[in-house]
Amino acid sequence: MSLHAGVSTRAASEYDPGLAPNDQRIQRVLEAIHADPAQEIAALAMLTRLSVSRLSHLFKRETGCRLRSYIVDCRLQLAANHLQSREVSVKEVSYNVGYRHPSSFVRAFTSKFGCSPTQYRAQQQMLRKCS
C-alpha cells in the first residue's frame, strides 16, 4: 500500500514501520514517538521545525495515518504492556503514557481494547496462568 496522498485513513497499528517515509523529518518523529509516546505534538513540531498543522499534514501524507491517532495508538499499546505488571496502578500507567486525566485514559483504552484497563489486566493474568 502506498504511503502517499490519496491513501485512505488507516489505523496507526496498520502502519508498517518497515516502510520508511520519504521525509526524514517524519522518520525522526516516528523514532521520537516510539522512544516516548507521551510526547505532545507541539514538542514533535519543534523537533522538526514545522508548525503543528504542517507536521500533521506531512505525517498523514507520508504514513497514511493521522498523527494524533498514531500517538494515541502507541500510548495505548505501551499502556497494555505496562498493565501486565501488577505493581503499577492504572492511574500511574495513565500518567506514564502521557494522559493527564486517568478517566480519559480509561475511555480511550476501553474504546481500543473493548474492556477497561483493570479488566484487561485480569484477562492477561488469567492467560498467563493458563499457559
Residue 7 domain-assigned (yes or no)? no
86 and 62 within one domain: no
Residues 84, 96 share a domain = yes
> Is residue 21 predicted with pLDDT exceeding 90?
no
Could you tell me if 16 and 64 lie in one domain?
yes
Alpha-carbon Rg for the chain in angstroms: 16
Give SS3 for 2.
coil
Cell 493527564 maps to which residue? 100
* One domain for residues 78 and 124: yes
pLDDT digits (tens, 9 = 90+) for 27-79: 999 999 999 999 999 999 999 999 999 999 999 999 999 999 999 999 999 99
Mean pLDDT of 79-94: 90
Locate 65 and state its grid cell.
495515518
26-35 per-position pLDDT tens digit: 999 999 999 9
Question: Is the pLDDT assigned to residue 10 strictly greater than 50?
Answer: no
Q: Give residue 126's pLDDT.
A: 85
Q: Which amino acid is at 118?
A: T
Does residue 8 have a pLDDT over 50? no
Give me the domain span that covers residue 42. Answer: 12-71
pLDDT score of 9 more than 60: no
For residue 131, what are the CA distances in angstroms to 84, 85, 122? 15, 17, 14
Residues 66 and 100 grouped into a single domain = no
- Domain CATH number, residue 40: 1.10.10.60
Rounded Cα–Cα distance for residues 62 and 126 (Å): 40
